[in-house]
Structure 1
């Protein structure tokens, strides 16, 4: 009986040709940290070429729409951050697809916490001192983010809401330009993923104050969680998942899930997790679907709280 799902897939001839893994973000970004090692591993496990195609634009919507328009045969995969799946439906006034109806969650691939960092020139060493400085200014302070509606932006909203702070957002077109202005001292603080900001933490050019995880990061054992720093309810992750078009045969989804889990449990992928301070989050399609639904509810509230909208 245990062999029946795999036998069913083989009877359908999947995979019958090279797979395309669409990443709806620019090359070299955090999504590639999840996608490229996964693609390499799937190629070995499935015995078919896996081509990674970065198709950026419209906050992840452009590449995601391309997957929705592809054949529902399991040969076109989507590996993306959470934005086009659970944030953009609340943020954009109009979208060309409905992720809840048009995509099937296969598995979560990895998640990494965000970290609140400040420019050293700000002169604060912990979250309490930062909050005191913010509250001492009648107009509050500014905080950079990598774009309206991104996890970085909405995590700052979560922080503001939980700590009752006044902050003004400065949105950038991506993490890199936001970090550049933070390093130059043009903005005093930001939330960003551990993978993106870690080189600058190591160099001492930014100061980490707290991580948004439920536990401390092994890469920064001396940096507290937001809860430990005295701000409850600010738990947030940048997560990256694998999806296929709705209508893909269940047997194909199960086989793809099994192959992805095998890759993610292998030493090579485990090293990626360790090097980026990420958590292993491989799961069944059903459990991942429930997680995605809960995330959509969470971020919908924060998008509405922020008042952000994109035409």
Structure 2
């Protein structure tokens, strides 16, 4: 009896200490993108549920600009008390270090991984004016017409830019890069046929593929997209090495206590399992995908090296 009572008291004491790890002020999720889009949506979906789970106020603060650097630097300089967290976009976290020699933050040293939130595979989409209906036909057409086809991106150094350069490297093809300031401007010109190819995440093109205004040739992921089930994966289409996923994850400032990181990560895991979170993610064409701090750290390390190599080989700069 005494042993059971002692164990119960220990559990209660540990739980109380664990709960006290939360900051006294609201938890602010810093988003490096403007409202709308995958990153902002992920922050708001998780933030709402996380606040209920932790019984703590959680707010979203959009700090776009500087290719994400404004938000990243802000969080890197914040107190490691769990009150300020970064909703990180993979293209910023893994590509900026290779694109910007004078980066004011370090992707590893300045941040502590908390949890992966969502992942979005990319779609190889083309304007119907291109006489192709499969990925193999696109590659063959590009080889016969080097430098005569334009491709869109959300801007120099964006994932759509780097990812399409990777596609060119793997297929031995040549296209002309036309950078835009975000998906909105890019998709407008792709729909108009001024730019013929756009490799991007589903939210930008999904409705246009479904309406027939664009043709999707392949999904650059391990499985087909649930909202576009007839579109083959790149592996099914004959290009198995071309995998391109964007992800959104939560990071805390370096030095955040491990117990607090664990509490936040567990809260995120529960939040992502709610039907509402899955519903909102699916509506955006992205997949809820939780990873714990250790696994997220491993993913980040792997992708930093991978994209550094791709960027260097393609000679990509922000000029």
TM-score between both structures, scaled by the size of structure 1 = 0.95
Q: Does 1:16 align with 2:17?
A: no
Distance in 2, Cα, partners of 1:129 & 1:117: 13
CA contact (8 A) 1:182 1:189 kept: yes
**What is the CA distance between 1:3 and its match in structure 2?**
6.8
CA offset digits 1:172-191 (Å, max 9, x no partner): 11111111110111100111
Task: Please point out which of 178, 187, 193 is paired with 1:179.
Answer: 187
Partner of 2:98: 90
Partner of 1:287: 295
**What is the CA distance between 1:273 and its match in structure 2?**
3.1
CA offset digits 1:93-145 (Å, max 9, x no partner): 21111021000110110101100101112232111221122111243422111
Partner of 1:193: 201
Moved more, 246-255 or 47-56: 47-56
Distance in 1, Cα, partners of 2:146 & 2:176: 12
**What is the CA distance between 1:205 and its match in structure 2?**
1.4
CA offset digits 1:52-106 (Å, max 9, x no partner): 1110111111111111111110011111211221110001121111021000110
CA contact (8 A) 2:143 2:172 kept: no
Partner of 1:7: 16
Partner of 2:129: 121
Distance in 1, Cα, partners of 2:87 & 2:44: 10
1:43–1:295 distance in 2 versus 1, CA, 3 Å: same
Distance in 2, Cα, partners of 1:68 & 1:35: 18
Q: Which secondary structure does the structure 1 equivalent of 2:242 belong to?
A: coil
Distance in 1, Cα, partners of 2:230 & 2:146: 32
Moved more, 129-138 or 156-165: 129-138
Partner of 1:296: 304
Partner of 2:316: 308
CA offset digits 1:137-173 (Å, max 9, x no partner): 2434221111122111111112111111112211111
Q: Does 1:214 align with 2:222?
A: yes
Q: Which secondary structure does the structure 2 equivalent of 1:95 belong to?
A: coil
**What is the CA distance between 1:43 and its match in structure 2?**
1.3
Distance in 1, Cα, partners of 2:173 & 2:153: 16
Q: Which secondary structure does the structure 2 equivalent of 1:101 belong to?
A: coil
Moved more, 77-86 or 245-254: 77-86
**What is the CA distance between 1:245 and its match in structure 2?**
0.2
CA contact (8 A) 1:70 1:76 kept: yes
Q: Which secondary structure does the structure 2 equivalent of 1:16 belong to?
A: coil
Q: Does 1:108 align with 2:129?
A: no
Gaps of 5+ in 1: none
CA offset digits 1:196-223 (Å, max 9, x no partner): 2212222221111101001111111110
1:122–1:309 distance in 2 versus 1, CA, 3 Å: same
- Structure number with larger C-alpha Rg: 2
Partner of 2:47: 39
Distance in 1, Cα, partners of 2:121 & 2:41: 14
CA contact (8 A) 1:70 1:245 kept: yes
Partner of 2:65: 57
Distance in 2, Cα, partners of 1:310 & 1:143: 17
CA contact (8 A) 1:210 1:229 kept: yes
Q: Does 1:149 align with 2:157?
A: yes
